[in-house]
Amino acid sequence: MRAYEITAEPEQLRAPRKVRVAAIQFAIVLPTTAPIEEQRKAIHHKVATMIDAAAAAGANIVCMHELWTMPFAFCTRERLPWTEFAESAEHGPSTKFLSQVHFLRHFVVENEDIEQVHEEASKLSSQRIVLPDFSATNLSTEKDGWPGWPRLAAKYNIVIVSSILERDESKDDVLWNAAVVISNSGKVIGKSRKNHIPRIGDFSESTYYMESTIGHPVFETAYGKIAINVCYGRHHPQNWMMYALNGAEIIFNPCAEVVENLR
């Protein structure tokens, strides 16, 4: 990587642009024998607290580990039940969870008294508060959500890199190892896919998905131009080079790896 470093004279007029990045990694929550939807929701709930902590620490961009929404079961070479975790990159449950749920520089209240909400917010020096849909009614806000989820929260101003098993509905449900980029406004900017698929011993991931056909995309975010070089792609120097040539300032490498291979 040092070969691609470009030295230049420091700028004199513009202040350095500082970007704080958070990387999230965790163990699965429920046994792999639990129903798929229960496993996914349990992971979502766990991740919410981790993103909450990352944002509270000042993170601008949060990167999840490879295929964070499921157990990394591809060494089994069994398609079922693991392929049932696949979802749409644009409007699947995990993308909706990350983009529509309001992350949480927050205080949380259960009291429906809006006046009290404003009073408590002012004590915490909140710059803005966001009331949920139907906050002035008795309608539930949890129909499509997660039990016990905060009903009042301010939105974190963060970009999220979300690596998922993608089901491409436009291509007869072909599966991909994809990474979705969600902007700090909660919109899906785009997606990248794994360019290099390992076929080493038990890790023959081609049983599930193949190499990307969309090249080396770079995404313009509020905190700079970013790219995602998923897992095994890190072993291929030209992969990094192509992202850099396409303008990437920060390249993320979400992975799920055997510990011994990282030493």
What is the per-residue burial (b if ≥16 Cβ within 10 Å, else e) of 94-127?
bbbbbbebbbbbbbebeeeeeeebeebbeeeeee
Catalytic position from the list 87, 166, 231, 255: 231
194 catalytic residue (yes or no): yes
- 88 and 40 Cβ atoms separated by less than 8 Å: no
255 catalytic residue (yes or no): no
Residue type, 71: P
46 catalytic residue (yes or no): no
Catalytic position from the list 41, 194, 205, 255: 194
Catalytic position from the list 41, 66, 205, 255: 66
Q: Which residues are catalytic?
A: 66, 194, 231
